[in-house]
Structure 1
Amino acid sequence: MSHNRNDVATPDFTLPGHSILSLHGADAVAFAQSQFMNDVAALADGQWQWNGWLTPKGRVIALFALLRLDAQTLWLLLPDVAADALVPLLQRYVFRSKLVLQSIDTAVSANFCAPLLASDAAFAVIAEGQLELDMRGEGGPRRLLIGAAPAAEDHDAVARWMQADLSHGLPRLPESQREQWTPQQLSLDRLRGFSVKKGCYPGQEIVARTHFLGQVKRGLALYDAASEVAVGSDIVASDARTIGKIICSVGRLALAVVPLDAPTDGLHSAGIALQAAPLLGGLAR
């Protein structure tokens, strides 16, 4: 598929909608470990992981990259939820914990080229206040920058970046899709984005029970549509039978939650033909 070609470097471009939330203090790691769905305590300084925050019913509120800068400082790179909106929601659970939640006003940009220093789950400090993440996968090299000088706006490059996210099974969740899906329904095990073995966190009981009882019945599927498809109201249908729902789309590329044994032929969404495509790997960290 031509939208997966990431072999031609472009100038840095701004990633709109991305924001940074800082957790800083003696209890920052312990707080994150108790609230978020992945094993934060397993991270070393200078590493990052996919992570998220769930409702008590195990539905994803926000999906993000969590960076451990040091023993007292974590950054959440939020692609779809504003940090300012998340701060008061998390603040309710701070209680006596010694940490400060703060939205960081800094630029987030990207490029379709290999990182200078970052590799896999190890991010790099490339200049004062500038961090680099390796976002490559099977689709080719990608480099994400936090804190660099503001880059140019390039709508085509942003669409290409988001299509690469979807191609690798990284769901981009608009507001209508928040608190709707469990980590398993979003196939976040492909990104190693949640833990079923660490201690308690909101939604952990649902996640663990689904995993250990073998109750995972739905997951992500990637589709190349004949034309642009909508998100939220549009279903995935096989003939006249509804089998799933579109959760995010960019141009003609879409991710949907469908049964694990869903057919791959004869599918459509609101009359638009859908061609099943394999999800790319390599984005797990």
Structure 2
Amino acid sequence: MSPDKIPGNPARNPAEFFALPGHSLLAMDGPDALAFAQAQFASDVTALAIGHWHWSAWLSAKGRVIAVFALLRTGEASLRLMLPDHDAGELGDALRRFVFRRKVAIAPRPDLHAAGAFAAPAAASGSVLAGAEDAAAGLELDFGAPGLPRTLRLAATPAVEDPVAAEAWTVADLRLGLPRLAVSQREAWTPQQLALDRLPAFSVKKGCYPGQEIVARTHFLGKAKRELLLLQVDDAADAGAEVSQAGKPIGSLASVAGHAPRWALAVLPLERGDEPLVVGATTVSPQAFVEGLAR
């Protein structure tokens, strides 16, 4: 994707922000916020410095991915979850079931709206945040890579809606290797199957968290049998569609976005034949990921 235009909408200035529908923000505040997050999330939260962010995930007890998100540390005892696919209120309700006596408040932040631009950030860089929640310009995140620059902004003022640009943003997520999980794909995949080590969004060295034993066993015993591939598929394909080879189903699509063609993330066996891959009636070929989204 060229940084000087937005596919399907060449008239839009890539530096202009547009709304990101479906994105929401969940706040965690209190003296036990970090300890609670460390016990629940797959990333090493205690290694996250104030004013920085990294990728993280919340897993089921069976080691399946419930949500993938950007985890921001905005203060000594303050964390923010920027959720691309999960409703903040819904996820907050699920997390509060595990708070018990910890001193942490978990609440959605509907006052802050996510917006994106296909341009390099003005001040943020890599994992370093810029701005502030209460500032007019809001918080700025570097959400791209050298070959695909993007800025994500969290601010009080909503950006203009542009469905074409928002769809291009989701396509860019997939091209960068960030899974976008529909409800049907939650708790369907392990972190390794979604290649979350590329971001990286999980740790095999920190202490316990839901699903940690399965994740660590898969890592240290080398038992990962599937991988994530980037494909271009036809417009009839959707998340959950089968990928076949030599007339037999061997995997399925975990994420799909875009139109003519659609882009998809497929989970397929590491060991497979040399015959062409087929989705629906279309022969597909693996595409190269755009590298640089790791934080």
TM-score for the superposition, normalised by structure 2: 0.92
Query: Is 2:148–2:290's contact at 8 Å kept on the other side of the alignment?
Result: no
Percent identical residues = 48
* Secondary structure class of the residue paired with 2:34: helix
Which residue of the partner structure matches residue 48 of structure 1? 53
Aligned alpha-carbon RMSD (Å): 1.4
Tell me: CA distance 1:127–1:184, structure 2 relative to 1, closer, same or farther (3 Å).
closer
Query: Is 2:244–2:250's contact at 8 Å kept on the other side of the alignment?
Result: yes
Query: Is 2:119 the counterpart of 1:122?
Result: no
Structure 2 gaps, min length 5: 6-13
* Secondary structure class of the residue paired with 1:51: strand
Query: Is 1:229–1:272's contact at 8 Å kept on the other side of the alignment?
Result: no
Query: Is 2:41–2:56's contact at 8 Å kept on the other side of the alignment?
Result: yes
CA offsets per residue over residues 126-164 of structure 1, 9 Å max, x none?
673410000112432100000152111111111111111
What amino acid maps onto 1:247 in structure 2? Answer: A
Distance 1:66 1:127 in 2: 15
CA offsets per residue over residues 229-266 of structure 1, 9 Å max, x none?
1112x111112021110111112111111112445762
Which residue of the partner structure matches residue 253 of structure 1? 263
Distance 1:225 1:264 in 2: 19
What amino acid maps onto 2:107 in structure 1? Answer: Q
Q: Which of the numbers 200, 204, 218 marks the counterpart of 1:196?
A: 204
Which residue of the partner structure matches residue 168 of structure 1? 176
Query: Is 2:42–2:202's contact at 8 Å kept on the other side of the alignment?
Result: yes
CA offsets per residue over residues 99-120 of structure 1, 9 Å max, x none?
1000001211010011011000
Distance 1:213 1:223 in 2: 29
Which residue of the partner structure matches residue 82 of structure 1? 87
Which residue of the partner structure matches residue 97 of structure 1? 102
Structure 1 gaps, min length 5: none
* Secondary structure class of the residue paired with 1:249: strand
Distance 2:170 2:210 in 1: 28
Distance 1:227 1:239 in 2: 22
Distance 2:147 2:273 in 1: 25
Alignment: residue pair count: 281
Which residue of the partner structure matches residue 217 of structure 2? 209
Distance 1:123 1:136 in 2: 13
Query: Is 2:213 the counterpart of 1:220?
Result: no
Query: Is 1:36–1:52's contact at 8 Å kept on the other side of the alignment?
Result: yes
Distance 1:154 1:222 in 2: 25
Which residue of the partner structure matches residue 247 of structure 2? 240
Which residue of the partner structure matches residue 6 of structure 1? 3
Query: Is 1:49–1:193's contact at 8 Å kept on the other side of the alignment?
Result: yes
- How far is 1:221 from its partner? 0.4
Which residue of the partner structure matches residue 283 of structure 1? 293
Query: Is 2:246–2:275's contact at 8 Å kept on the other side of the alignment?
Result: no
Q: Which of the numbers 269, 275, 282 marks the counterpart of 1:272?
A: 282
Structure 1 segments of 4 or more deviating over 2 A?
A: 4-8, 126-129, 260-265
- How far is 1:72 from its partner? 0.6
